[in-house]
Amino acid sequence: MRWFYQVMSGQIRMRLAYPWGFWIGLGLEVFVVASINWYLWSAVLESRGGQAFPGYTLRILVLYSLITSLLRKVQVNTDQFGGIGDDIYSGSLNKYLVYPVSYFGFRYAMHLGGSLVSLVQSSLALLLFWVLFALQDMPLPGASSLIQFLVLVLLGITIRFIMNATLQTMAFWFEQVWSLLILFSFLIMLLGGQLIPLDLYPAWAREVLFYTPFPILAAWPAEALLGKMSWLTFFQVCGVACVWLVVFNVIARFSFARGVRNYSGIGA
């Protein structure tokens, strides 16, 4: 596994070489997400006569939105987003096929390296925002919340990678797959609780969504960090996530193996 560490650390070094672009983008994202949600939830609570949602004050709602937004940034490395599809279209896949390591493993190491850098940077921004803005309504997370959060984030990063990889193997047969990746992002927004806490969804929807892979990418890590997840729920969520990991891993590998048979490698 030494190669995995080397690929990952190489990606980390590359991401750290140009930090300013990330920080500027992150700062603007924090401003946009926080201000949009501040105004929106203020208007919603105002029309409810100032009555907050159980467990969610205005500041916690804004904090929740920011956490899920930053999770998206952590899971989606823009330079890796369509990497597998690009390799197939450009013919760059050729060089990976002759490497003595798994192609998905290589790509995952790159993805993980970028995500870990994003996680550290996003966490710093989130901590600053939390202390300055939300501390009066929500204390900083304790050790158990942090452990749950980190485990779920790592699971989320891995699931996002393998689901994106599955979709990108379609590039063996179709001329464009980016729309599938964007489509999947939209699903996470609505079904993953990225825009609104799942606690505000109808009970039946929450029950159904529990068994899907979407909340692991947004709502569950956010709820864990906000101290709203019991250990029992945490282990159930981890179980569901592991099932989806296996399912998508099998599909991705099957699809890739079939696709490589058709692949002509032109353009490399």
Partner 1 sequence: MIWRYVRIYLNFLRFAASRAMQFRAELLFRVVMDVFYYSVFLGFYEILYSHTELIGGWNRAQAMVFISGFLVVDALQMTFFADMYHAFQQMYRLGALDHYLTKPISSWFFVGFRHINFGSLINVSVAVSILIWALQNYSQPLSWQAYVVYGMMIVAASFLYFLLIFALLMSIFWTESTEGPLSIYFEAVNFATRPHHIFHGVIKGILLSIVPFSVFASIPAQALFDDVGWGSVLHMLAVVAGFFLLNRWLWQRGLRRYASAQG
Sequence-distant (6+) residues with CB within 8 A of 130 are 63, 138, 140
In the list 136, 142, 175, 203, the residue contacting partner 1 (rule: CB under 8 A) is 175
In the list 202, 204, 232, 266, the residue contacting partner 1 (rule: CB under 8 A) is 202
To partner 1, the closest distance from the beta carbon of 21 in angstroms equals: 7
Stretch that binds partner 1, among 91-99, 113-121, 184-192, 224-232 (CB under 8 A): 184-192
**Partners of 53 in beta bridges:** 56
User: How crowded is the C-beta side of 32, counted as CA atoms within 13 Å?
Assistant: 8
Size of the site for partner 1 (CB under 8 A): 34
Nearer to partner 1, 8 or 34 (CB): 34
199 binds partner 1 (CB under 8 A): no
Taking CA atoms, 89 is separated from 86, 94, 135, 254, in Å, by 5, 11, 48, 19
To partner 1, the closest distance from the beta carbon of 125 in angstroms equals: 14
24 binds partner 1 (CB under 8 A): yes
Query: By the 8 A CB rule, do 75 and 160 touch?
Result: yes
To partner 1, the closest distance from the beta carbon of 173 in angstroms equals: 8
Stretch that binds partner 1, among 132-140, 148-156, 179-187, 239-247 (CB under 8 A): 179-187
Q: Which of 160, 142, 157, 159 is nearest to 227 (CA)?
A: 142
In the list 125, 146, 187, 247, the residue contacting partner 1 (rule: CB under 8 A) is 187
Phi-psi region of 248 (alpha: psi -120 to 50; beta: other; left: phi over 0): alpha
Query: By the 8 A CB rule, do 138 and 224 touch?
Result: no
Tokens of 45: 């609570």
In the list 28, 128, 131, 243, the residue contacting partner 1 (rule: CB under 8 A) is 28
120 binds partner 1 (CB under 8 A): no
23 binds partner 1 (CB under 8 A): no
54 binds partner 1 (CB under 8 A): no
Helix ranges, 48-82 (H): 58-75
44 binds partner 1 (CB under 8 A): yes
Query: By the 8 A CB rule, do 143 and 229 touch?
Result: no
Sequence-distant (6+) residues with CB within 8 A of 206 are 198, 199
29 binds partner 1 (CB under 8 A): yes
Name the residues that contact partner 1, by CB under 8 A: 21, 24-25, 28-29, 32-33, 35-36, 39-40, 42-44, 47-48, 53, 174-177, 179-180, 182-183, 186-187, 189-190, 195-196, 200-202
